[in-house]
Structure 1
Amino acid sequence: MRVLIVDDEPLARTRLAALLAGCSDVDVVGSVGDGEAAIDAVGECQPDVLLLDINMPGISGTALAQRLAGSKRPLVVFCTAYESHALHAFELGAVDYLLKPVRLERLNEALQRARLRLQQAPGDTGGYLHGRLRGEQVRVALDDVISLLAEEKYVVVQHRGGQLLLEDSLRQLEDAYPDTLIRLHRNCLVPAQRLIGLKTLTDGRVLARLGGTELMPEVSRRNLPALRKLLRMG
């Protein structure tokens, strides 16, 4: 099993590497100190599992997990000194949540869970958006999202089951899912897979045809060339 260590503390990375040396069937393919380096390392090393710190400068561990969400994302084991992030970590599909200082016994348990996940459901690590519905925290799968519209302090997610309010900005969502969400105009994102065509009105405005819905958001002139290119590329 190929493992990548991601932690901004050099001593923490060294300790995890030493613990992993005592684990069977584990190959440490890299050790990096921030989220940007982790993104590059994931592409280069193709790890099966990330041992991922949460509180890092720049891209946090949870933001990195969201950004990598998709069918080819490595499995994630969060390693952190704080218990408060546990619920959100598991909502992101984490295999396990280890508290620092990490003990060898717990590390082995987490790696075994990862092995089982890889054997039982390889590649099944889809992403979710997390927001509020009538005051309660809920989540919706990215595959079910139709559009995201900015309205005052919130982003309204239209999905196959209704609506969801997010406190994240469109920019934050666009940065978290650069390969999944595309911008139609400054107040609207849609999943790239939803875009099936463009309709030009008599007054020159252009609307986006979206699969699975009658909703047709307007496209800004600034974003129109990129959308036409995307459609040509299929």
Structure 2
Amino acid sequence: MRVLIVDDEPLARARLAALLGECAGVEVVGSVSDAEAALDQLGDLQPDLLLLDINMPGMSGTALAQRLSGRKRPQVVFCTAYESHALQAFELGAVDYLLKPVRLERLHEALQRARQRLTQAPREAVSYLHGRLRGEQVRVALDDVVYLLAEEKYVVVQHRGGQLLLEESLRQLEEAYPDQLIRLHRNCLAPSQRLIGLKTLSDGRVLARLSGTELTPEVSRRNLPTLRRLLRMG
């Protein structure tokens, strides 16, 4: 099992790493100090499980878990000094809720539960993007997304029901959903299943044809080979 430790306290990260070293079948693939860094590295590290603190500078652990809700991987085990977030943690689908200082026996139990959930899940659940609409927190299924466009401080999500604003960068989203989102240009992502064709203009520029919209975003030369390969694969 590939485990990523996310905690803003260096001593807490070191203790968890030491405990995991006593657990068979576990590989610590990373140890980061905040949720944003964890989100950045999901694509590269491909962890099966996050050992996640809740109270951290910037994005909280519960906010990160909300971003990942509905996904088979990574599963989440919260590791915190406070009992007050337990109900919210399980509502977000956490495997377990460990109180600091984490005991080895409880860590074994949490790892076993995570293994069972990873093994038993028959298929990937629906993935959701969480953002803001007129000041309210809302979510949209990734299957309903048409494209994502970077504009100033936000990412605008165009979906079948309208638009949504996200605070994550395109890079964070691309790495969080590497099997579902493809990059068209430095400022544009789209779900891979939306790509239905490429159109070459007389000046040599290439546009992407996407299902569900008349918008034809420009494709950068860097990303063109990947898109052509994807279309050949059907």
What is the TM-score normalised by the length of structure 2? 0.66
Q: Distance in 2 between matches of 1:68 and 1:39?
A: 16
Aligned equivalents of 2:216 and 2:104: distance in 1? 52
Letter of the structure 1 residue corresponding to residue 4 of structure 2: V
Equivalent in the alignment of 2:181: 181
Post-superposition Cα deviations, 1:206-228, rounded to whole Å, max 9, x if no partner, equal: 321223x0333222342333322
**How far apart, in 2, do the equivalents of 1:51 and 1:79 lie?**
10
* Residues 115-126 of structure 1: pairs in structure 2 closer than 5 A: 117=117, 121-126=121-126
- Counterparts of 1:151 and 1:87 in 2: how far apart (Å)? 36
Looking at structure 1, the residues matched to 80 and 232 of structure 2 have their Cα atoms a distance apart, in angstroms, of 44
**Does structure 1 conserve the Cα–Cα contact (< 8 Å) formed by 2:42 and 2:176?**
no
Q: Secondary structure at the match of 2:178?
A: coil
Paired residue for 2:26, among 13, 25, 29?
Answer: 29
Deviation at 1:75, TM superposition (A): 2.7
Distance 1:28 1:131 in 2: 36
**In the superposition, relative to structure 1, how do residues 200 and 153 fare at CA in structure 2: closer, same or farther (>3 Å)?**
same
Which residue in 2 is equivalent to 1:79?
Answer: 79
Aligned position for 1:45: none
Matches within 5 A, 1:1-234: 3-7=1-5, 9-15=13-19, 28-34=25-31, 40=45, 42=47, 50-54=49-53, 73-81=73-81, 93-102=93-102, 114=114, 117=117, 121-201=121-201, 204-211=204-211, 213-222=212-221, 223-234=223-234
Q: 1:137 to 1:86 in 2, by over 3 A?
A: farther
Contact 2:50-2:77 at 8 Å conserved across structures? yes
Q: Find the aligned partners of 1:86 and 1:202 in 2 and give their Cα distance.
A: 59
Q: Which amino acid aligns with 2:213?
A: E
Amino acid at match of 1:12: L
Cα separation, partners in 2 of 1:205 and 1:166, compared to 1, 3 Å: same
Deviations 1:85-123 (A, max 9, x none): 879966864333433223578658756865774576434
Where do 5+ consecutive residues of structure 2 fail to align?
32-37
Q: CA deviation at 1:139?
A: 1.8
Q: Helix, strand or coil: the match of 1:171?
A: helix
What CA distance in whole angstroms lies between the structure 1 residues aligned with 2:26 and 2:196? 40
Check conservation: 1:30, 1:41, Cα contact below 8 A.
no
In the TM superposition, residue 84 of structure 1 has moved relative to its aligned partner by 9.4
Contact map agreement 2:4 2:49 (CA 8 A) in 1: yes
Distance 1:118 1:192 in 2: 25
